[in-house]
Amino acid sequence: MIQFYGCGSCHIIPGISGASGLAGPPLSGIGNRIYIAGMLQNTPENMMHWIENPKAVNGKTVMPYLGVTHKDAADIAGYLYTLQ
């Protein structure tokens, strides 16, 4: 899913081939971070909300709306939480 949506275009994501983007923060250790996007408590629900519709969380973010489905957001968040 991460490769399908092109997340690695903007983020460095351990374990994902070609995910070496520098526009967004590296996602290593995101499972241990206190906040997502600098403003949401790091919970699975908030992670999924952010992935599904970042502009609904912060209208000024440069993270684009990618049309990520709820199921795909759950799968992506599940992987990201393995990155301790």
Residue 8 CA to residue 16 CA, distance in Å, equals 8
Band (pLDDT 50/70/90 cuts) for residue 31 is: very high
> In angstroms, how far is the first alpha carbon of the chain from the final one?
19
The size of the chain, in residues, is 84
Give the pTM.
0.92
Q: Which residues contact 55 (CB under 8 A, 6 or more apart)?
A: 61, 63, 65
- Whether 84 has a pLDDT exceeding 90, the answer reads no
Q: Hey, where are the domains in the chain?
A: 2-80
Grade residue 64 by pLDDT with cuts at 50, 70 and 90.
Answer: very high
Percent of the chain with pLDDT over 90: 98
Spatial distance between the Cα atoms of 76 and 84, rounded to a whole number of angstroms: 14
Please state, in angstroms and rounded to a whole number, the distance separating the CA atoms of residues 49 and 41.
Answer: 11
Average pLDDT value for residue range 45-51: 98
- Domain 2-80 is of which CATH architecture? Orthogonal Bundle (1.10)
